[in-house]
Amino acid sequence: MFECVFRISKDYENWSVTEYGSLVRGEPDAYSGFELVPEVMSTETPWAPVIFKIYSILGSHFDTATSQLSGTLVHVRPHNVDGDVWKVDEVRAILKDICVLDQPFTAMLPPSRRDNYYTRCLLSNQNGKVNKLCRFVDDVRNGRPEQLFGLLDQLETTTEAGKLFEDRFYYLNLKALPGGTIEFRFPPPAETAKKASHYILWVLSFARGCIMKVERGFGPNIRGKKNVHHLMELVIAGHRLLPASAKTSVKFLEPALYGHNDPPVLSLTDREKRELAKIKREKDALFASGGGIRR
């Protein structure tokens, strides 16, 4: 993970390095051994220029390509009088909506993001991973989510919500609760700042739409099966409530994210594979000797 420290280094030479699974532990998640983490952004400030700046800096030094495992993960934190901490009713609302809208939500995603090991839907028992929600999958997908809602309504704290899942590899990662963010983990590949910004805006709009229901005292429409039109009604409603600063540089909100197609899988030459293998061996040796920076 590379973290660009904007406030300290105006020439962007100050980078901190920490371990990342693909390079350090040899995990099967391609050679995408870095993430860019900008300083914390709020919907109250124009965040899109930060994204465009990051892409501009990268583009001036690197050729940007995407694979089936690349994308912009978005960590969302509410802006409220309680110190930007998630309330349990807000978390319940997001869980309810994303479960009720599970099928149109999944169908909208590129194939590589649909209920796989790294981004499982909340009702999934993918790869033998069982959580407390997956037993309601048939009822929910047939328009009968009452029992699921009953379980979620019993959650008294956001910590309890995080314990519904055994790991972070779902559409939503709740493991940073109670004090942290909710991570939305289903990003489409974003090789341009425009695509990354559009996806961020989509996520913020979805989360805002869910919170809106809590503020107005009503929950998801639970009658019957749901389609992409129901999903977009929620997203558009949330989009209207976002401050103007959150929409800077993003001209419109598309019905889906970026279509249903994945980019071609990156093809490496034998020489490039040998070079990457050498880099991995060197990094393994560095961390084994204690010379790497771990956090």
Q: What is the 3-state secondary structure (H, E, C) of 127-167?
A: HHCCCCCHHHHHHHHCCCCHHHHHHHHCCCCHHHHHCCCCC
Share of the chain above pLDDT 70, in %: 57
pLDDT at 74: 82
Is a pLDDT exceeding 60 seen at residue 157? yes
Residues 104-138 as b/e (b if ≥16 CB within 10 A, e otherwise) read bbbebbbebbbbbeebbbbbbebeeeebebbebbe
pLDDT at 67: 63
| φ, ψ for residue 209, nearest 5 deg | -65, -40
| φ, ψ for residue 54, nearest 5 deg | -60, -50
Per DSSP, 111 falls in state G
pLDDT at 156: 92
Pick the range with the lowest mean pLDDT from 7-11, 97-101, 287-291.
7-11
Annotated domain spans of the chain: 74-277
pLDDT at 154: 92
Per DSSP, 75 falls in state E
Give pLDDT tens digits for 118-148. Answer: 777 888 776 556 677 888 888 888 888 888 8
Question: Which amino acid is located at 9 in the chain?
Answer: S
| φ, ψ for residue 158, nearest 5 deg | -70, -25
Residue 29 CA, chain-centre distance (Å), reads 16
Give pLDDT tens digits for 233-272. Answer: 888 888 888 877 776 656 556 555 544 454 444 445 566 5
Q: Tally Cβ neighbours within 10 Å of residue 165.
A: 19
What is the spatial distance between Cα 134 and Cα 146, in angstroms, rounded to a whole number?
A: 14
pLDDT at 3: 36
CB-based burial of residue 277 (10 Å sphere; 0-12 exposed, 13-18 middle, 19+ buried)? exposed
Residue 2: beta bridge partners? Answer: 17, 36
Give pLDDT tens digits for 279-292. Answer: 667 666 665 665 44
> What average pLDDT does the chain have?
70
Residues 6+ apart with CB under 8 A from 144: none
174-179 own/partner pairs: CB under 8 Å, 24+ apart: 174/91, 176/75, 177/86, 177/91, 178/85, 178/86, 179/85
Q: Which residue has the higher pLDDT, 240 or 110?
A: 240
Kindly report whether the global pTM for this prediction surpasses the value 0.85: no
Give pLDDT tens digits for 184-204. Answer: 887 777 778 888 888 888 888
CB-based burial of residue 79 (10 Å sphere; 0-12 exposed, 13-18 middle, 19+ buried)? exposed
Helix, coil or strand: residue 225: coil
Question: Which amino acid is located at 139 in the chain?
Answer: D
CA-nearest of 62, 91, 41 to 249 is 41
Q: What mean pLDDT comes out for the span 29-51?
A: 60
Is a pLDDT exceeding 70 seen at residue 151? yes
pLDDT at 128: 54
Share of the chain above pLDDT 90, in %: 4
Alpha-carbon distances, residue 238 vs 45, 72, 113, 175, 243 (angstroms): 17, 20, 23, 24, 10
pLDDT band for position 95 (cuts 50, 70, 90): very high
Q: Which residue has the higher pLDDT, 173 or 188?
A: 173
